[in-house]
Amino acid sequence: MKNWFTVLIPTKDSAAWIGTLISHYQARGVTPTLLLDDRTRDSTRAIAEAAGAPIVDIHGFTHTEAIVGIAKDVVKTPWALFIHDDEVPSDKLFTRLAGPPPPDAVQTVAIPRRWAWYEPGKPLLYGLSEQWQDRTDQPGKDHAWRLFRPDQVVYTSIMHCEGYFIDSWSRVPLDNYFVHFEWVLRSRAQRQHKLWRYDEHRWGYGRFFQKIYVPESQPPGVIEYLPFETNAYDELVRVYYAARAKQDPAIPRRSLRTQMNRLKANIRAKITPPDFQAEAADRKGLNVKREKEVADPFNAV
């Protein structure tokens, strides 16, 4: 069956791992399209071209949600899978993607994500915590709507969303996950710096993800670490780990604007109890409409 989807991978300065990642896809019958940040200064382009991966040049962006909309201009297939360069689909997800597309009534598909934890010389694990909120009401499963119809969704550039509004949707089984190597590719300090940048963009956009981005900060027992059922990621994880930056960044002082926004948020929190189901003023319409879920008959096969 001809692929009914196109894999889009945004990337920048990824020469240390992009060749291994492309090979991983191609060994499973898929060649991804790279959305290459034009600020890239290493040999990412040359490596991708040598591997035969299509490249779309993208003007420098602050967060990937802002460029998801490019899919409608560059994707020729009915569906697109938008996935980062530190993530990879599981083999069971590849198998699902080799089957028929989702039902006609579906615009987007929720895929569970596993966060990989690696220590050299030890088996690759993934973290799971009941404290991690999940928009399908399955705590810890961390669903993300990455598979979508480029010509049917309504796009948005708001940080920490799919890059589009979720309307009618379906899901894949829990063993059809994708793996996130954030904890492997970046040290604790590098991840903490990333959250600082998110909070500088808008206060709360970083601290909200502290529990999941920095598992080292959590009390013992909050996160359960489980072994993967496969060794399919062994080469990738070694490459990602070797690609870690050798020097940890310093965490700058927060800007005055961010400090003021933090103070205002703390005052509001003391006056009004938090409502985690409410939509923030700047995120209207981004909540998942659970009543719009469509059952995918292929999942029962």
If you write DSSP's letter for every residue of 164-224 in order, what string do you get?
B---SEEE--TTS-EEE-HHHHS-HHHHHHHHHHHHHHSTTTTGGGHHHH-GGGSPTTSSE
pLDDT at position 251 is: 78
pLDDT reported for residue 2: 66
What pLDDT was estimated at residue 276? 46
The domain in which residue 154 lies consists of 5-181+289-300
Across-strand partners of 144? 111
* pLDDT for residue 47: 98
Q: What is this structure's pTM?
A: 0.90
For 169, phi and psi rounded to 5 degrees?
-150, 160
In a domain? residue 63: yes
Residues found in the chain: 301
Q: What is the pLDDT of residue 173?
A: 95
Evaluate whether residue 259 is within a structural domain.
no
pLDDT recorded at residue 272? 64
- Give the model confidence (pLDDT) of 73-120 as tens digits: 999 999 999 999 999 999 999 999 999 999 999 999 999 999 999 999
Cα within 13 Å of Cα(83), Cβ side: 30
Q: Could you tell me the sign of the dihedral formed by the alpha carbons of 251, 242, 92, 9, in that order?
A: positive
Question: Per the domain annotation, does 112 fall within a domain?
Answer: yes
Which residue stretches of the chain have pLDDT < 70?
1-2, 265-266, 268-270, 272-285, 300-301
CATH number at residue 175: 3.90.550
CA angle centred on 55, ends 112 and 9, rounded to 5°: 10
What are the pLDDT digits (tens) for 182-207? 999 999 999 999 998 888 877 777 78
Domain count, the chain: 1
Residue 275 belongs to a domain: no
